[in-house]
Structure 1
Amino acid sequence: MSDIVVIDRMRPRRENQPMTVDGDAGGMEILQKSGAIVSALEELGEATAQTLAARTDEPVSSTYRLLSSLREIGWVDPAPRRGYFRLGVRLVRIGSLLEDQVNVRDACKPALEELRRRTNATAFLCFLRSDTAVCVERLDGRDVHSLAMRLGDSLPLFRGAAPLAILAFVAESEREAILARLSDRRRNGEAIPSDASLREAIASTRSRGYSLSDEDVTPGIGAIGAPVFNHRGELEGAISVSGLRNQILSGQLPVPQLTMQAADDASRALGYRKELIAG
């Protein structure tokens, strides 16, 4: 039986068609091997059959046969370098369609709900928009219902926990462009912290892994923020939690760790895998 026939097993079984247990088991095995090759190419970008065989612990001859089948259905294409393979255009298109269908707010909401539950404070999701952070989701906490940062409201990137997390973890080139624009606005008379102060806050935030807001938006209110990344490793936005200062910043609850965990959960929901990006 050729490998390509197994792909046909993905079609729905017709009513009253007998199920062959051994065949289905074999089909699942080949699908698992196909998934291992796709995962390896996702991580490596391009690879030879020999490299893929070593990665998947399969004989080179079997790997060549499976690559041939995957080429026929568009999941794998030859790379420009002779003897190398990469993910197929058809598979990439499918991934793009799935990406377009992902609702970031919906994907992040379970993490926000868990953060609110564990802190009893107000949880936010913010996106970068024109040198500001815009609130796209807000879940009110039990203890304090602040009027600051309602849905659709925005804050400058140097005020508030989520805005600072966005400024600190956005790509370096974009961050430098933002700092340059803030510098121009400062020279034009706007009340913006000095460049040295902003860079110190950015460095501290990146070193800790989270941002901190201590009454810089609302008196008596503290907040912690952390970045959310998408499947490409790009900054998607930031999650923050805000409440009474002594509740958020006193250390009685591990709010920074809970916030970073929520941001990590949201990032994973968007397909982010730190080990793959780092690799």
Structure 2
Amino acid sequence: MSLRDLQEDARARARNPVPGAASFAKFMNVLQVIADSPGTLDMAQITRRTRFPRGTVYRLVAALVAEGLVSQSGENGTFRLGPRLLQLAAKTWEDSDLRTIARDFLASLRDATDEAVHLAVPSNNRMVYIDKLVGSSTVQMKTSIGGQVEFHSTSVGKAWLSGLTDDRLEEIIKGLELTRHTANTLTSPEALREELKRIREQGFAFDDEENEPDIRCLGSPIFNRQREPVGAISVSMPVYRHDARRHELRARLVRETAIRITAELSRIP
């Protein structure tokens, strides 16, 4: 189908709405609100953010919970994405060219550092882990495939941001809530911009206990053949397993690994 055909089809659909499309849009709106703030919003807060009538929100959320697309915490009544949605997403990640290409390189990086390594991609102003390999130590990060982290407080997030054009970067920064997670978290746009300048110069990002205490991470961006950042990789370790010598070595390894993944990914038409 040509571009003109697609445009004509879109105009036709706009003139003749698909039955149920409005209801589907409401479901997606609620789902997006929950995805953007996982584990932090209760029913009243979701209602305020969607601006739908309370009865409508209750009905939509109940249906999402029944289908396993959303789950509710028994402790504080907040909501997050459910297991069924994560399972569906995982099927997409398993078929991802990026995940497939990166796996052997991630394994080599894990073997060289004996630390946890992650592959993450951007999604709705967050980074989502789509792969993780761990080292031999019993002390590891409590991260999982499908887990979401913020741009400004993580090495994968800052690495991905550093690869954006200036215009696109400003668009993203304007929409971020620079939440403080630790005493080291960057919480001002100015501080974040300065940090991203350093990352661009050195080729890697450093999370110095900015997302969670006692954890440090080094990350680098991955680009497609159009030189657009499509993801990032990281090496993560407890503070006690990080020093100046290891920092230099792991920074070089994560940067070189990202470059190799980028080179392989660039071969895909």
Tell me what 2:223 maps to: 229
Letter in structure 2 aligned against 1:261: E
1:260 is matched with 255
> 1:246 deviation in Å?
4.1
* Distance in 1 (alpha carbons) for counterparts of 2:214 and 2:193: 25
Measured on the aligned residues, the alpha-carbon RMSD in Å equals: 2.2
C-alpha distance in 2, partners of 1:141/1:135? Answer: 17
Q: Which amino acid aligns with 1:123?
A: V
* Residues 209 and 272 of structure 1: CA distance in aligned 2, closer, same or farther (over 3 Å): farther
Q: Does 1:164 align with 2:158?
A: yes
Q: Deviations over 1:210-240 (max 9, x none)?
A: 0001112232221100011112211110010
Q: Provide closer, same or farther for how the CA distance between residues 111 and 243 of structure 1 changes in structure 2, counting only shifts above 3 A.
A: same
**Does residue 215 in structure 1 map to residue 209 in structure 2?**
yes
User: What is the identity, as a one-letter code, of the residue corresponding to 2:260?
Assistant: D
Shift of 1:149: 2.9
- Name the larger-Rg structure: 1
Q: Distance in 1 between matches of 2:142 and 2:169?
A: 25
Q: Describe the shift of the 1:223–1:102 C-alpha distance in structure 2 as closer, same or farther (beyond 3 A).
A: closer
Aligned partner of 2:115 in structure 1 is 121
Unaligned runs of 5+ in 1: 1-100, 274-279
Q: Give the secondary-structure state (helix, strand or coil) at the position aligned to 2:128.
A: strand
The answer (yes or no) to whether the contact 2:151–2:161 under 8 Å persists in 1 is yes
- CA offset digits 1:140-198 (Å, max 9, x no partner): 1222543433111111101111111011112332211111112xx46xxx557111111
1:242-279 per-position Cα deviation (integer Å, ceiling 9, x unaligned): 01224344323601000011101111110269xxxxxx
The amino acid that maps onto 1:223 is C
Q: Could you say if the C-alpha distance between residues 223 and 272 of structure 1 is closer, same or farther in structure 2, counting changes exceeding 3 Å? A: farther
Within 1, Cα distance between the matches of 2:243 and 2:123? 28
Is this contact kept in 2: 1:228–1:239, CA < 8 A?
A: yes
TM-score (structure 2 length as normaliser): 0.58
Are residues 196 and 251 of structure 1, via their aligned partners in 2, closer, same or farther at CA, if it must alter by over 3 Å? same
Q: Is the 8 A contact 1:126 1:137 kept in 2?
A: yes
Q: Could you say if the C-alpha distance between residues 163 and 266 of structure 1 is closer, same or farther in structure 2, counting changes exceeding 3 Å?
A: same
TM-score (norm 1): 0.56
Distance 2:243 2:148 in 1: 23
Identity of aligned residues (%): 23
1:269 paired to 2:264: yes
Alignment: residue pair count: 168
Residues of 2 paired with 1:124 and 1:204: CA distance? 22
Partner of 2:212: helix, strand, or coil? coil
Check whether the contact 2:160–2:229 (CA below 8 A) recurs between aligned residues: yes
